[in-house]
C-alpha cells in the first residue's frame, strides 16, 4: 500500500464522522515515517497518525486548534496537550479493552488498514461527545 492509498483509506473511515462531529475537513501532514491527518475543532481536535514503519494507526485527541497538530504530548509548561484516544477513554472510565486488543492484533500489516481505521473511527464516533464534554478532565 502506498501513502496515497493509506490516506484515502483513513479519510474514507474518518471524514464522514469528522463532519458529523463538527470537525474540519482533514489536513494531511506526511514525512518519511508517518502520515497524520488533522481534524480541527473546539474544544478538542483529532489526529489520525499512521506509523508507516511498524504499520499502526493511532487516534489522538488534542486541545482544539487551527491548522497545527501539537508535536509532543505535553506543552512547554509540561501540561498535557495531546493523548491517545484509548488512553483518554480509559481515564474517563468508559472502557475499550476489547477493541484495543483487536487493534493490536491488526498492527504490523498494511492489509489491515481498512479494518484498523474502521475500528478507530467507531471509537471516535461512540466516545467523542463524552470526551468533548469532559475535555477539562483530560487537559488539566
- 140 residues of the chain, pLDDT tens digit each: 899 999 999 999 999 999 999 999 999 999 989 999 999 999 999 999 999 998 999 999 998 877 788 888 888 888 888 999 988 988 888 876 677 777 777 777 878 889 989 999 999 999 999 999 999 999 88
40 vs 96: CA distance, rounded Å:
24
- Residue 85: exposure state from Cβ atoms within 10 A (0-12, 13-18, ≥19): buried
Q: Which residue, 15, 16, 8, is CA-closest to 38?
A: 15
Cell of 86: 484509548
Residue whose cell numbers read 474540519: 24
> Does this model's pTM top 0.75?
yes
Amino acid at each position: 500500500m502506498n501513502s496515497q492509498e493509506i490516506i484515502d483509506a483513513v479519510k474514507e473511515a474518518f471524514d464522514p464522522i469528522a463532519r458529523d462531529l463538527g470537525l474540519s475537513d482533514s489536513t494531511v501532514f506526511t514525512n518519511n515515517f508517518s502520515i497524520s491527518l488533522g481534524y480541527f475543532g473546539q474544544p478538542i481536535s483529532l489526529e489520525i497518525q499512521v506509523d508507516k514503519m511498524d504499520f499502526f494507526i493511532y487516534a489522538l485527541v488534542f486541545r482544539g486548534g487551527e491548522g497545527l497538530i501539537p508535536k509532543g504530548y505535553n506543552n512547554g509548561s509540561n501540561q498535557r496537550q495531546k493523548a491517545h484516544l484509548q488512553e483518554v477513554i480509559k481515564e474517563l472510565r468508559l472502557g475499550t479493552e476489547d477493541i484495543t486488543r483487536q487493534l493490536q492484533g491488526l498492527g504490523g500489516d498494511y492489509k489491515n488498514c481498512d479494518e484498523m481505521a474502521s475500528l478507530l473511527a467507531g471509537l471516535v464516533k461512540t466516545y467523542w461527545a463524552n470526551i468533548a464534554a469532559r475535555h477539562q478532565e483530560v487537559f488539566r
